[in-house]
Amino acid sequence: MSQLGAIVTHRNGAHALPRSSKNKKTIQTGFEAPETHMRRYSAFAIAREAARYHSGWERAWASPQPKKKYDVIIVGAGGHGLATAYYLGKNFGITNVAVLEKGWLGGGNTGRNTTIIRSNYLQDASAAIYEKARSLYETMSQDLNYNVMFSPRGLIMLAQTEHEVRGYQRTAHANALQGVATEFITPQKVKDLVPIINISGPRYPVLGGLWQQRGGTARHDAVAWGYARACSDMGMDIIQQCEVTGVRRDGGKVVGVDTSRGAIDCDKLGIVVAGHSGVLADMAGFRLPLESLALQALVSEPIKPCIDVVVMANTVHGYMSQSDKGELVIGGGTDGFNNYTQRGSFHHIEETVRALVETFPMISRLKMLRQWGGIVDMTGDRSPILSKTPVEGIFVNCGWGTGGFKAIPGSGWAMAELMAKGHSPLAEEFGLNRFKEGRFIDESVAAGVAH
């Protein structure tokens, strides 16, 4: 049994308070906070708390009032923002950090995605940052002492046209040069890995697939919770229900932000708010080359295990995996128009499920359990932006489009290095200046349609 099953989590993200106030200290803001170093989760801890009716669990992270000033403010308490804060502390010792969230922690795209992890990208810069992320996912549960349920179950990107066959074969060769373990497999190998698949569909037969054995999934909420717990343990402030309403500048330099909980000063500001990046950039006085669209997903009713790998079908705009609870997790392409909705629509069900039914006939008999949407930020070349901005002290991390979850640890690692040192090898190619100079990192085939 993992700690996720042993601890009750409230909507605001903090775990249930113990009945005893031992090992507590009061800090300047006047609230009760956990001791400096969090207690480690373990099988022994679960057994101990079970014996005393789970009355001794501490809060996973504190909920402080904001201070007047921080060295660094990160706007956005999703996976990317929390990972940035975590690696600022772990790698560079910068802990006077506030992470501001207008809603609740992990309530945006981090809690709304389909949890796919892979690094089989074509361009060198993309493969480097995604492979860094994938490798960090492998040890994340141990590093954070929090079970993120990483499952390297393997991932197949189906080739259903001759064009895709050539494209994925090219990607497999590029991955070999990049040190990313992938291979192009035959239709029969696809069938062996996914027995429920129909490889001889009349419209889009399966002609092969790009197979990444060490790809997979993780529990999206747990990634955010694990990072939040580690950040709080380092003394960082995670401030929820705190909407940024303005960015204050002194000439060309940032000096702070205005929020729904008052003004907060800072020396450096990180904007990590996915689909709302353009809104925050406008407050700061500059524009970003991206657009916001809804990306929808849905899950079926739970069924017995029938598919133990992730399957992506870009030609028909659909991908599918099975969760630990038995639900089939289904997603597709973005909406065809700019919007900020987080709801589902009938159009998505019709287009995505209709395409997948031919490839997976058995899903035609299932009922949909729930449907939702997230707001993604898309750049013209379908690659992210990790960059300084025209305002001194402001950095942006955005443009991850449909593939943000898989990049969380690599993105946080690179963004933290960029903010701490002013330069990061992982982020170098993803600067804003590439749009002015025409140095596009074209990943439209790998990232523009499916995850």
384-395 pLDDT per residue, tens: 999 999 999 999
The neighbouring-strand residues paired with 385 are 398
Which amino acid type is present at position 320? M
Q: Are residues 49 and 148 in the same domain?
A: no
Instruction: Please say which residue of 9, 26, 56 terminates a domain.
Output: 56
Residue 151 lies in a domain: yes
pLDDT at residue 18 greater than cutoff 90: no
| 127 Cβ neighbours under 8 A, 6+ residues apart | 119, 120, 121, 174, 175, 178, 180
Tens digit of pLDDT for each residue in 62-112? 999 999 999 999 999 999 999 999 999 999 999 999 999 999 999 999 999
Q: Considering its fold, how many domains does the chain have in total?
A: 2
Retrieve residue 203's tokens. 């419209």
Strands (E), 229-261: 237-239, 244-250, 253-259
Tens digit of pLDDT for each residue in 154-185? 999 999 999 999 999 999 999 999 999 999 99
Q: How many CB atoms lie within 10 A of CB 429?
A: 17
Q: Are residues 156 and 304 in the same domain?
A: yes
Retrieve residue 183's tokens. 């291979």
Distances (CA, A) of 40 to 147, 251, 297, 380: 12, 46, 35, 44
- The whole-number pLDDT of residue 445 equals 57
Task: Give yes or no for a contact between 376 and 389, defined as CB atoms under 8 angstroms apart.
Answer: no
Residue 397 lies in a domain: no
The C-alpha atoms of residue 148 and residue 118 are separated, in whole angstroms, by 16
In CATH, what number is assigned to the domain containing residue 206? Answer: 3.30.9.10
pLDDT at residue 28 greater than cutoff 60: no
Q: Are residues 312 and 183 in the same domain?
A: yes
Distances (CA, A) of 290 to 123, 202, 378: 20, 37, 5
Task: Give yes or no for a contact between 121 and 395, defined as CB atoms under 8 angstroms apart.
Answer: no
Q: Are residues 204 and 343 in the same domain?
A: yes
Structural element, H or E, at residue 176 = helix 162-178
Residue 411 lies in a domain: no
Task: Give yes or no for a contact between 120 and 212, defined as CB atoms under 8 angstroms apart.
Answer: yes
- The whole-number pLDDT of residue 336 equals 83
Residue 124 lies in a domain: no
Q: Rounded mean pLDDT of 217-245?
A: 96
Task: Name the DSSP letter for residue 351.
Answer: I
Most confident of 7-21, 183-197, 310-324: 183-197
Residues in the chain: 451
Instruction: Please say which residue of 379, 399, 423 terminates a domain.
Output: 379
- Closest by CA to 83, choosing from 433, 425, 411, is 411
| % of the chain residues with pLDDT over 70 | 90
Task: Give yes or no for a contact between 87 and 133, defined as CB atoms under 8 angstroms apart.
Answer: no
Q: Are residues 174 and 303 in the same domain?
A: yes
Lowest mean pLDDT among 30-39, 66-75, 368-377: 30-39
The secondary structure of 51-77 as a DSSP string is: HTTT--PPPSS--PPPPSEEEEEEE--
Structural element, H or E, at residue 397 = strand 394-398
Residue 256 lies in a domain: no
Residue 16 lies in a domain: yes
Which amino acid type is present at position 438? G
- The whole-number pLDDT of residue 446 equals 58
Residue 435 lies in a domain: no
- The whole-number pLDDT of residue 192 equals 97
Q: Are residues 196 and 303 in the same domain?
A: yes
Task: Give yes or no for a contact between 272 and 78, defined as CB atoms under 8 angstroms apart.
Answer: yes
pLDDT band at 20 (very low <50, low <70, confident <90, very high): very low
Domain that holds residue 29: 1-56
Q: Are residues 205 and 312 in the same domain?
A: yes
Q: Are residues 43 and 171 in the same domain?
A: no
Looking only at the bridges linking them, the beta strands covering 24-26 and 32-34 are antiparallel
Q: Are residues 188 and 318 in the same domain?
A: yes
CB burial string 210-247: b at 16+ within 10 A, e below:
bbbebbbbbbbbbbbbbbbbbbbbbebbbbbebebeeb
The C-alpha atoms of residue 379 and residue 384 are separated, in whole angstroms, by 7
Q: Rounded mean pLDDT of 318-328?
A: 94
Retrieve residue 432's tokens. 């804003």
Q: How many CB atoms lie within 10 A of CB 190?
A: 21
Q: Are residues 166 and 305 in the same domain?
A: yes
Q: What is the Cα gyration radius of the chain?
A: 22
Tens digit of pLDDT for each residue in 330-345? 998 888 888 888 888 8
Residue 392 lies in a domain: no
Task: Give yes or no for a contact between 227 and 272, defined as CB atoms under 8 angstroms apart.
Answer: no
Q: Rounded mean pLDDT of 207-217?
A: 97
The C-alpha atoms of residue 239 and residue 66 are separated, in whole angstroms, by 7
